[in-house]
Structures are given as C-alpha cells and as structure tokens.
Structure 1
Amino acid sequence: MGPSAPAPSHGRSAGVVTMAASGLSNQVGAAIGSLAFPVLGPAGVVAVRQYVAAVVLFAVGRPRVRDFTWAQWWPVLGLAVVFGTMNLSLYSAIDRIGLGLAVTLEFLGPLAIALTAARRRIDACCALIAAAGVVTLMRPQPSTDYPGMALGLLAACCWASYILLNRSVGRRVPGAQGSATAAALSALMFLPVGVVVVLRQPPTAGAVGCAIAAGVLSSAVPYLADLFTLRRVPAQAFGLFMSVNPLLAALVGRIGLGQHLGWAQWASIGAIVGANTLSIAVRRR
C-alpha cells in the first residue's frame, strides 16, 4: 500500500476510539489534579505534571541536545517557557472558575490560529460566533471572576504560541527531540516551585498521587495517543474531534467535581465549540 493510501477502516476506528480516550483522559486528569489544589496549590500540581511530562517525552524523544545549534535552541527555549506558563495559567484558572470554563477559554487559542489563517466568509462568521460566546461568558455579573477569566485567556494565548513554536521546532529539530527537550527544560524551571511547596507544607501521599495522575492522564496519555491517532485519522478529523474538549471538560467538571454551569455558560461553550466545528467541517468539504 502506498503512503497516500487511506488507512484501513479498522485502523480509523481504532484511531477514533483513541481520540475519544485521549480527550477524556486529558480532562479527567485535570479534574483529579484539582483535588490536590488545597494541599499543593495549582503551582505544585503543575510542577509535578511537568516532571511527569519530562520523563515521558524524554524517554520517547531521546534528544541529542549536544548537537543542537542556536537556531534550534531558541524556539525550544521559547517552547519550554510557553509550555510551563500555559499549564500554570490553565490550572490556576481551573482553581478559580472551574474546569469547563477554563478549558473553553483556553481553547480560544487554537481557534484563533485556525481562523486568522483563513480568508473565507464562513470563517468570519465562525469568529463572530466564537466572539459572541466569549462575550456571553464574560458578561459582567456579581459572581464573575475576572482574574480567573484572565488566566483562562492567558492560557489561550500560550496555547496559540505553543502551536506556532511547535511548528518552528518541528521544522528545525528532527522527530520529537525538540518537544522532549522543551519538556525537560520546563520541568527544570519548576524545580524551585516543587522545593517551595514541600518546604511550606509537606504534601500528603494522596495529594502527590493526584498530581502524578494528572501528569500521566493529561500529559503522557494524550501525547502517546496523539502519536497513534495521527497515523490513522486524517488531520482535519483530528482537529474536528479536538473541538469537543471544552464540552468534555464541562461534563467531567459537572459529574466528577460537581461544578454546575448555567444556561448562558453552556450556550457560550456550545458557541465556541460550534464555531470551530463549522470552520473545520466546511474546510474539509
């Protein structure tokens, strides 16, 4: 079978199942990690998550850092900073506004990248739909947590930067060496955070276990699942399924953490998810 031949149907079915499991694993991991916030705080949970991600990615990528040139190093360093900032801002947002809303705001990052790269009227309509969802989500209310919303938007900016830097790293560094090196550097940046957390309040075994579970379920499993999926499912279908993550996050937050959302918040999530789904579906045709 040539390289351009479509994947067998059973391979695509396995890819779809893997995508579903990856998305669910990501959100469940974040939910479990939030259980450790009272002991470790968002920064402590993110530190442990970065350590787990570094171990997994370094084992998979096996980077030869001594061979890197400066042209390869600078995007890797940028990726390391963005990677850590993205997770820290997301988990801090989860702590303040809940899993569903935090992941929805973070999802605006890749949506913005996709829409700004397009030049069609339908993409302008999708941008307006997504903007309407954001306005509804952030409308002034006595209970509105604006710092939490700002942290979610910071996570969105970081995710957009993460995508652009990953493209640059992918062009300059072979295989997964760039991502593995960035994960390791990000983990090193969070070593002082881990030390401060331990000295301030000795963590319980349960809290550490929750943080490790977050690292495995939200970093290791999705990364390895994506490697498997992208070999069996078209990239557009992969992007289409990724748009369901805010909805999965809202459902996991409601079922697992008891975080209930109002009709306006559900409508905002639906608008943002629908905008991305419509944009990808039309592009596919």
Structure 2
Amino acid sequence: MQKPAASGTLVGVALVIGSCLSLPFGAAVAAQLFPVLGPWGVTSLRVAIAAVLLVVLVRPRVRGWTRQQWLAAVLFGVSLAAMNGFFYAAIDRIPLGPAVAIEFLGPLVLAAVLTRRLADAVWVAVALLGMALLGIDGLIGAEPLDPLGVVFILIAAGFWVMYIRMSARVGALIPGSSGLAMGLVVAAVLLIPVGVPAAATVAADPSLLLLAAVTAVLSSVIPYSFELAALRRLPQRVFGVLLSLEPAFATLAGWLLLGQDATVLRLLAVALVIAASVGTTLGVRRDRRGEEPSGPFTAPIPLPD
C-alpha cells in the first residue's frame, strides 16, 4: 500500500518542478512585450489565450455545479487575475530573480503557518534565508530595486497565497481541469478593461500574438495544470516550500534570456532553496503516515458561506 503513495509523491514533486521551469521562462518572454502592450495588457492577453485554449481542450462541464464549486472557481479566478497582473507590473520595474524571491514570501508564510513540526519549520527557515539572499543581491547589485515594484510584488505575494489555497479548494471540489478552465475564464473577464487597448494593438500587429500565445502556454496553461495536479498529491505546506525552486529557475531564466548575471550570492541562494525543497520532499512520506493520512485535503479550507 505504500508504493502508490510514494509514486504519487514523486509525480507531485515532478509536476512542481515542471511548473517552476515553465513560469520564469514564460515571464522572460512576457517582459519583451511590456514596452508595446504594458504589463497589464500582457496579463490580459495571456490569461484570455490560456482560457480559450483550456476551454477548448478540457470542455468543462459546469451543468450541475453546486454553489460551493462556483464560488471556488470564481475566487480562484480572482486570485489568478490579481496575482498575475501585479507580478507583471512588478517585473516591469525590478529584475526577475529578486521579484520572484520577494513574491515567494507569500507561500513561505503559508508553509510556516501550516507546519506542525520542528523539522518543517527548519526547512522553511532555510528557504527563507535563500529568499533573503536573493533580495540582498537585488539591493546591493548593479540594479537597485524600484520601491513601487517592490510594493507590486508584495501584493502579488498575498494573492499567491490566495491562489494556493483556492487551487487546493478547486482541486478538491471539481474533478479534472474544469475548475482551472473556468477560473481562467473568470480571470479573463475581470481583466477585460485593461485588455481592450492591448487587443487593439495586437490586431494592428498580429506578430505580437505569437509571443502572447507562447507566454500564455508557458506561464498559464502548463504551470497551472501541473500545480493543480500536484496539489492533489502533496500537502499544501509541502507544496508551498517546494515552490522555493522557482526563484532558482527565475535566476536561470534571467541569466539565459534577459542577460542578468548569476552572482555568487545568487548561486548560494539557489543552493539553499534546493536544499529546503529536498528536505521537505523527504518528509512527505512521514506526513502521509502520520498527521495527514488521507491526503492534502483533510484539513478544511475556510471559505465564506
């Protein structure tokens, strides 16, 4: 009986790593569109394209959904729209690596709140140290951090916490990827006011649509599908710390695609976040045997009635 659980854990870890690889490379592509479409315009197009792709692929069956399921999908969509919009607004002002490091304070705080054992708290602290080193690197490096960009990324961090919670809720209540598809539809509708000017620009220069589509696939379709599947296999607090791999991949993407240097301080931070991820992963089987025997959704997630 242990083998299926172990196999599910390994698949969950692989899914999170795949998401961490896809997101920063998608952000690096999106940054090339900012001068033409603006960060919110890119967000709107990216989410709209991702919503259309998933609706076509998934064909969500919403007939018969309960009030709880609709509420979860709508709140999921709100978190997607705000998290992505403020993240793009931030990386329009500050480098990708430090931005992802600061944003990661959101899931780190969530992991710390949900943890119940000293070992888990230690790994959270190790990951937090890695985030701090990335932040320090951004402060003392050649590119100082814009204060408004920092504010935007902190807001994004708060909505990232909401995204993790609502993604878990949607995964528990709605089978398959229908909840993700409808969440993206909600996010696309919310972003229409800022997306109209971007759509007009793309209509005048269709070549921009290809870059927007690549951004949508790398930054929305792949990572959100992977993360939704991962949250069905991993406890939320473990999922939160595993995401500490994302700043490491963001640093790599910034170096490869945006010409941002990989300094010694950044490499040390990468080593710390990987160590935290490995340490947390090794503890998953103990979590399943002990305090979370039924999987990641045994603890209720409070939502308004």
TM bracket (short chain): 0.7 to 0.9
Rounded Cα–Cα distance in structure 2 between residues aligned with 1:93 and 1:80: 20
**Which residue of structure 2 lines up, in the alignment, with residue 45 of structure 1?**
42
**Which residue of structure 2 lines up, in the alignment, with residue 170 of structure 1?**
171
Cα distance per residue 1:2-29 (max 9 Å; x no partner): x9754999x9999988776554333222
Q: How does 1:71-82 map to 2 (within 5 A)?
A: 71-82=68-79
Q: How does 1:149-168 map to 2 (within 5 A)?
A: 149-168=150-169
Alignment check: 8 A CA contact 2:9 2:234 kept: no
Change (3 A) 1:85 1:65: same
Cα distance per residue 1:23-66 (max 9 Å; x no partner): 43332222111111110111111111101221232234433334
**Which residue of structure 2 lines up, in the alignment, with residue 147 of structure 1?**
148
Rounded Cα–Cα distance in structure 2 between residues aligned with 1:125 and 1:12: 21
Mark the runs of 5 or more structure 2 residues left unpaired by the alignment: 287-305
Mark the runs of 5 or more structure 1 residues left unpaired by the alignment: none
Task: Pick one of 14, 20, 28 that aligns with 2:25.
Answer: 28
Cα distance per residue 1:75-123 (max 9 Å; x no partner): 2211111111111122222222222222223333333333322222223
Cα distance per residue 1:139-177 (max 9 Å; x no partner): 566923232223222222212111111222233333322
**Which residue of structure 1 lines up, in the alignment, with residue 111 of structure 2?**
114
Alignment check: 8 A CA contact 1:43 1:193 kept: yes
Rounded Cα–Cα distance in structure 2 between residues aligned with 1:172 and 1:30: 30
Q: Provide the TM-score with structure 2 as the length reference.
A: 0.74
**Which residue of structure 1 lines up, in the alignment, with residue 249 of structure 2?**
248
1:91 aligns with 2:88: yes
Rounded Cα–Cα distance in structure 1 between residues aligned with 2:256 and 2:207: 21
Q: State the one-letter code of the partner of 1:79.
A: F
**Which residue of structure 2 lines up, in the alignment, with residue 217 of structure 1?**
218
**Which residue of structure 2 lines up, in the alignment, with residue 260 of structure 1?**
261
Rounded Cα–Cα distance in structure 2 between residues aligned with 1:27 and 1:84: 17
2:93 alignment partner, SS class: helix
Give aligned-pair identity as a percent. 36
Deviation at 1:131, TM superposition (A): 3.8
Change (3 A) 1:169 1:7: closer
Change (3 A) 1:180 1:253: same
Cα distance per residue 1:181-211 (max 9 Å; x no partner): 1111111122222213345797633433222
Deviation at 1:70, TM superposition (A): 2.6
Change (3 A) 1:179 1:275: same
1:128 aligns with 2:95: no
1:67 alignment partner, SS class: coil
Rounded Cα–Cα distance in structure 2 between residues aligned with 1:62 and 1:167: 21
Q: Provide the TM-score with structure 1 as the length reference.
A: 0.79
Q: Alignment RMSD, CA only?
A: 3.6
1:280 alignment partner, SS class: helix
Which is bigger in relative contact order (C-alpha 8 A, separation at least 6)? Answer: 1
Deviation at 1:254, TM superposition (A): 0.7
Once structures 1 and 2 are overlaid, which stretch shifts more, 76-85 or 185-194?
Answer: 185-194
Matched residue count: 279
Q: State the one-letter code of the partner of 2:114.
A: A
